[in-house]
Amino acid sequence: MDQVNPKIEESWKQVLEHAFSQPSFQTLKSFLLSERRAGKTIFPSGGNIFKAFNSCPFEAVKVVILGQDPYHGVGQAHGLSFSVPEGVQPPPSLQNIFKEISRSLSIPCLHSGDLTRWANQGVLLLNAILTVEAGNAGSHRNRGWENFTDEVLIQLNQNRKGLVYMLWGNYARSKARLIDAKNNLVLESVHPSPLSAYQGFIGNNHFVLANEYLSKHGFQTIDWR
């Protein structure tokens, strides 16, 4: 299926060549084909499945923000974790992300939920699971995406240093085992969802800490607006 073949930015294609050839990825492709043959709608659209990579080449990555799986509502998912297309109302978790940015950086609260502007500066907005069935959150768990995106983190950890990893919530924090905290900055907190945002996400200063670390290691800082 064309939409699930690695139509992905060239540097990532080379780095992830082994991952694409693994049996788990072939099984994943077969699963997605069967779901579409069954008439199920899958988000994001095929052309956006690898948008996080196509928007941020391997050597350009400075920050990794790890989400779990795409939004399952119509018109929301477009291949970047936590992000929604221009003109779509930011979901509650993203609104809380914006609140923390506004609070910690003393800037007006953001309105556009399209985070492509971050990706273009070197923020890899990576979901651990890259597809979902419409209206069915978490429906593509344990189908092979986790193996693939774990390999993304492994390759970054082996070949890049001085990066910032933002791991929010228990699921994302479980991936800390793949990251060398001595050579990178690993920022962990609760998830920005309404259920937990005021139990440690609001006030975590991750966006300030990220820019301080990037500056210290010779990277241009991120404009989080």
Query: Which one of 2, 69, 114, 180 is the catalytic residue?
Result: 69
DSSP per residue, 1-49: -GGGS----HHHHHHTHHHHTSHHHHHHHHHHHHHHHTT--EES-GGGT
| Placement of tokens 């001085």 in the chain | 162
Residue 223 annotated as catalytic: no
What is d(CA 135, CA 139) in angstroms, rounded to the nearest whole number? 9
Q: What are the C-alpha distances in Å from 220 to residues 7, 60, 62, 206, 208? A: 29, 11, 9, 16, 13
Catalytically active residues, by annotation: 69
